[in-house]
Amino acid sequence: MTPPDHPRHPDGLILRAGRPEDAEALTDLANLPLYRHGTMRLPFQGVAETRRWLESQAEGQLHIVALQGDLLVGSAGLRPNPGRRRHAAVLGLGVHDAYVGRGIGSALLRAVLDAADNWMGLTRIELTVFSDNQPAIRLYERFGFEREGVARRFAFRAGAYADADMMARLR
């Protein structure tokens, strides 16, 4: 059987599994102002913290990085739940500040959802996104995610509390 064609990616974009040696590049990505603004990370994350996270990935977790040339420009992953929630996973995704709007988020999301649907047997993908992150919300909606609720005063960010939307895609 011939595998399906590889999805088209923006020019020169390479998607591959994340590796422990990506720790420094992932730390640089996580410390970008706009990238960090959309996450729960504190400023000035260190490489050692990122390395510990990369090395502690549990079996069954998926982590993909996007490379444009030698620059790591995005990251996405799925963390499946255990036990009676093993049909569901939590999605995380982020794109380099200077590369937003170039199709990288779509390419990462397409790859992660393909793995969820065709290789991991997941039927529910969940995510949390800050309510003011409209570009991300529009991206998730294009891929079938629906808002299930809002967590008011979800997190303290940039000197104020911010709400977050809880979204999921069911298959």
Considering the domain boundaries, does residue 4 fall inside one?
Answer: no
pLDDT at 8: 55
In a domain, 161, yes or no: yes
What pLDDT is stored for residue 5 in this prediction? Answer: 46
Domain of 128? 13-170
For residue 33, give the CATH number of its domain. Answer: 3.40.630.30
Within a domain: 122: yes
The string of pLDDT tens digits covering residues 128-151 is: 999 999 999 999 999 999 999 999
The CA R_g of the chain, rounded to the nearest whole Å, is 16
pTM, two decimal places: 0.90
Q: Which run of H or of E encompasses 112?
A: helix 104-118
In a domain, 3, yes or no: no
Within a domain: 7: no
**pLDDT 10s digits, 57-110:** 888 899 999 999 999 999 999 999 999 999 999 999 999 999 999 999 999 999
31: burial class by Cβ within 10 Å (0-12, 13-18, 19+)?
middle
**Number of structural domains the chain divides into:** 1
What's residue 163's pLDDT? 98
Closest by Cα among 82, 93, 84 to 39: 93
Q: Indicate whether 6 belongs to any domain.
A: no
Would residue 5 count as lying in a domain? no
Residue 133 resides in a domain: yes
